Amino acid sequence: MIDGPRHRMMDYVREELMPHRFCAGCGCGTVLNVFTNAIDALKLDPKKMVCVSGIGCSSWIPSPYFKADTLHTTHGRPIAFATGVKTMRPDLKVIVVAGDGDVSGIGGNHLIHAARRNIDLTVIMVNNMIYGMTGGQVAPTTPAGLKTKTTPYRNIEPSFNVAELVIAAGASYVARWSTYHVFKLLKSMQDAINTEGFSFVEIISQCPDNFGRPIGMRNGTDFLRYFKKNSVPIGKARKMSEEELEGKFIIGKLHEKTRPEYTAELHKITKEQVELQKKEQIS
Ligand SMILES: Cc1ncc(C[n+]2csc(CCOP(=O)(O)OP(=O)(O)O)c2C)c(N)n1
Ligand SMILES: [Mg+2]
DSSP codes, 266-279: HHHHHHHHHHHHHH
Q: What is the pLDDT of residue 2?
A: 64
CB burial readout 213-239, b (16+ within 10 A) else e: bbeebeebeebbebbeeebbeeeebee
Question: What is the β-pairing status of strands 122-127 and 93-99?
Answer: parallel
- Cβ–Cβ under 8 Å, residues 140 and 281: no
pLDDT at 27 over 70: yes
Tens-digit pLDDT profile for residues 200-226: 999 999 999 999 999 999 999 999 999
Ligand 1 centroid, distance to 86 Cα (angstroms): 24
**What does the chain come to in residues?**
283
Ligand 2 centroid, distance to 126 Cα (angstroms): 7
Tens-digit pLDDT profile for residues 111-145: 999 999 999 999 999 999 999 999 999 999 999 99
In percent, the amount of the chain with pLDDT more than 70 equals 99
Residues 6+ apart with CB under 8 A from 103: 54, 78, 79, 96, 111, 123, 125, 162
Residues 6+ apart with CB under 8 A from 234: 250, 251, 252, 253, 254
Ligand 1 contacts CB of residue 131 (under 6 A): yes
Whether this prediction's pTM lies above 0.85 is answered by: yes
pLDDT at 6 over 90: no
Ligand 1 contacts CB of residue 211 (under 6 A): no
Ligand 1 contacts CB of residue 120 (under 6 A): no
Ligand 1 centroid, distance to 107 Cα (angstroms): 10
Atom of ligand 1 nearest to the CA of 207: 20
Ligand 2 centroid, distance to 128 Cα (angstroms): 5
Q: Which helix (H) or strand (E) holds 2?
A: none
Nearest CA to ligand 1 atom 13: 131
Say whether 134 sits in a helix, a strand or coil.
coil
Tens-digit pLDDT profile for residues 42-62: 999 999 999 999 999 999 999
- Cβ–Cβ under 8 Å, residues 39 and 12: yes
Beta bridge mates, 65: none
State whether the Cα torsion 217-160-30-237 is positive or negative: positive
CATH level 3 topology of 8-282: Rossmann fold (3.40.50)
Which ligand sits closest to the CA of 137?
A: 1
Ligand 1 contacts CB of residue 56 (under 6 A): yes
Q: What are the residue boundaries of the structural domains of the chain, listed by start?
A: 8-282
Tens-digit pLDDT profile for residues 52-103: 999 999 999 999 999 999 999 999 999 999 999 999 999 999 999 999 999 9
Q: 168 to each of 3, 123, 255, how far by Cα in Å?
A: 48, 16, 10
